[in-house]
Structure 1
């Protein structure tokens, strides 16, 4: 089975990490992988060191057509194409181009705007032509079926997974507990809410927020007077996580975020907003608080900071959950089963 993956992305993020896990595991799942990606993310895939057919094309997000994507895919001659969908609408041109070449599977990473009027009608028609669609969350699947008219038999939930290291770092053990978070510095990630929560938490603590993005300057200004540092883009997630004692995900919108699963796999106690699949997939092994509720987030953080034994127990349970059900091998096997069904002429 020849599978071409399309990353029509303007920046590296969780969707590209998801794709990387599948590229690395294609051969183990009976597939030969190829890649079509933009220059903005090509360096990240190059770092994987994989010997695969790779084409770099212009970004076509929000464009009317994607001829470069179509040409690159046609040259790769795939049995099935997988298009990373940042949200329901923005990668429509890449999806349409893929559908001209081979049966196409979309991976919807985030719920979002499904447009209105003629735009919505065109988007629904596009999604109904999908051979299958995958989402890491039931929320995403529900939007695919209810808002975009995807046949429920072709809409699949495949929970996210990560590499589960054999040597988890666990909490760093700083005398003053260190809270950590990282991701793109944009409104989606809710770091403004995290900073508001930290202003309500009594010291001692310090915090580190890794990442880069368009809201970086505003967030640094908002952190004035707080024991918070911004080290910039995180190239090595494991090294970053090894330096903290408590991980927090403050996002407004997610499916089942890989960064949270990576923190759990390292044995860190975690606090997360109630986004996407977090509560359903992770149960009581993460402290879950309402979205955009700085007071609830502050209470959760303060409670854990004041209780080292509870932090240790939560970290141990997070690691055990990761070992049981959050591995990337399991995620990839489930995804490639869907792709094999499509390539074999089924409904995915």
Structure 2
């Protein structure tokens, strides 16, 4: 089975990490993978042993002729298009549909437009051979807003590399809280800073990442023991320096960064976004979205109880080993793609 993956994004993030996991595991799942990626994210895929074509970014544009030509040259049986959100990658989707049966991967729910614009978007999406989302919320949006066939829309929970040597809590005398991601409103770092201001126990905090809200967040953190080290290139190294990980997002599906922290054996606090509660159960502390008071209470409870942190970190690691590995995610995804390829060839398949 020849599978071409399309990354039409203007910045590196969880969707690109998801794609990398699948590219690395394609051969082990009976597939030959190739990649068509937009120029802004091309550097992140350097070093992968796949056929790669770099094309102009077409997000928010009307047509993607270079993407279509690159896909045609790869001669795929199935194309997988990474969808940043429901509406912004339509040119890439249309280009893929011109070449081969196409599966869309909706990483994040978002605006599906209204009126004629939604009707046009729904007509395009209904041409997909299948769709995947890491969250039930994403699947529901594809069904309710865009009218996809329920039999062809699948929830495949995200997964990450689960290291053999998890770092676990760092053991700082003053516990260190950590978070990282794009410094934008979606990630809720303003809520995290508001929660940190409510704490009356010793702590340090580090917020990794870059983004358009960086200066505003640094100003909001004035007077707090918070540092902003910039973009995180060594995720494992960053996590190894923490005693407690926090995800404060307003919107997510099933964020890879949370799963990576759990795989390292870190105790985690997360907002109740996407499929987090369903995926992690009681193995992380889950609090309401945009509730700085609840977030502060959860952090205070763990900061003052080293034994509780250790127990929660051990449970997080066990959950990651059992349910959150990238191998399991890839097997599930490639099973969906095999079903699409089987329908194309007329053979039996899922």
- Alignment TM class, shorter chain as reference: over 0.9
Which residues of 2 match residues 116-135 of structure 1 at below 5 A? 116-135=114-133
Q: Which residue of the partner structure matches residue 37 of structure 1?
A: 37
Q: Structure 1: any 5+ residue segments left out of the alignment?
A: none
Residue 211 of structure 1 pairs with residue 193 of structure 2? no
Which residues of 2 match residues 1-348 of structure 1 at below 5 A? 1-46=1-46, 49-345=47-343
Q: Map Cα deviations across residues 55-107 of structure 1 (whole Å, 9 max, x no partner).
A: 11111111111111111101111000000001100111100110000000000
Q: CA deviation at 1:51?
A: 2.0
Distance in 2 (alpha carbons) for counterparts of 1:117 and 1:50: 42
Distance in 2 (alpha carbons) for counterparts of 1:98 and 1:133: 14
Q: Give the aligned CA root-mean-square deviation in angstroms.
A: 0.8
TM-score under structure 2 length normalisation: 0.98
Distance in 2 (alpha carbons) for counterparts of 1:144 and 1:154: 10
Q: CA deviation at 1:308?
A: 0.7
Distance in 2 (alpha carbons) for counterparts of 1:345 and 1:307: 55
Q: Map Cα deviations across residues 91-150 of structure 1 (whole Å, 9 max, x no partner).
A: 111001100000000000000110011110010011111100000000100111111101
Q: CA deviation at 1:39?
A: 1.4
Q: CA deviation at 1:191?
A: 0.3
Aligned 8 A contact 2:201 2:303 in 1: no
Q: Which runs of 4+ in 1 moved over 3 A?
A: none
Aligned 8 A contact 2:270 2:285 in 1: yes
Distance in 1 (alpha carbons) for counterparts of 2:299 and 2:56: 43
Query: What count of residue pairs does the alignment treat as equivalent?
Result: 346
Q: Structure 2: any 5+ residue segments left out of the alignment?
A: none
Q: Map Cα deviations across residues 172-221 of structure 1 (whole Å, 9 max, x no partner).
A: 00000000000111110000000000000113100000001111111111
TM-score under structure 1 length normalisation: 0.98
